[in-house]
Amino acid sequence: MTRSKDRLSPGTADSLDPRLILKAIRDAAITHVITVPDTHQQSLLRLLAEPTGPQLITVCTEDEAMGVNLGLYMGGKKPMLLIQNSGFYAALNTVRGLALDGQVPTCMLIGEFFRDPHVAPRDHASRLVRMLEPTLDLWEIPTYRLDHEAHIADIPVAVEHAYRAHGPVALLVGGRTGEVS
């Protein structure tokens, strides 16, 4: 069910420019980014913390992030979650209840914490990495890989998908976001 085109070095991941990711988030008209801080995407979080928008909201748990996402959506805003794979697993019941059963658009930018970007996720020794896509597939959550700079263009597409389908969509960030100078 993965949607990104595996046209560049399938299975590997590059460091992504956080400025390009932020631009794509803005292009998707995201108003708020709700995060449980993700070490995998630290440089993107630093950019989001600047007062230029979208507004960054930091919460304690992924379950809380899902609830804030629901409240913002019901209030007419267009939020997105920025979490990591371990937190996604922790919030599966809330993902089921709010995003899937409740049909709330939920775009999740998920950092693949602990991933070696030179190893395809399906071949990774860590269950945390190896089981993410199969878990998303099992729950029928559309998935977009953000492994190479060309994939960043899929962010607005994925956001539109979540809002059109009234449900969750996962954007998997395979490599750490790069440093901004």
Q: 71-105: per-residue pLDDT in tens? A: 999 999 999 999 999 999 999 999 999 999 999 99
Partners of 2 in the β-ladder: 143
Q: Which DSSP symbol is given to 140?
A: T
In which residue are the tokens 């597939």 written? Answer: 137
Predicted confidence (pLDDT) at residue 1 exceeds the cutoff of 70: no
Q: What is the pTM of this model?
A: 0.91
Q: What is the rounded CA–CA span in Å between residue 70 and residue 141?
A: 17
Partners of 144 in the β-ladder: 171
Partners of 70 in the β-ladder: none
Residue 13: band (very low, low, confident or very high) from pLDDT cuts 50, 70, 90: confident
In which residue are the tokens 């708020």 written? Answer: 32
Q: What is the rounded CA–CA span in Å between residue 37 and residue 60?
A: 9
Provide the 3-class DSSP secondary structure of residue 164. helix
Q: What is the rounded CA–CA span in Å between residue 10 and residue 5?
A: 9
Residue 180: band (very low, low, confident or very high) from pLDDT cuts 50, 70, 90: low
Please count the CA atoms within 13 angstroms of the CA of 44 that sit on its side-chain side: 30
**Strand runs labelled E in 86-135:** 106-111
Q: How many CB atoms lie within 10 A of CB 140?
A: 10
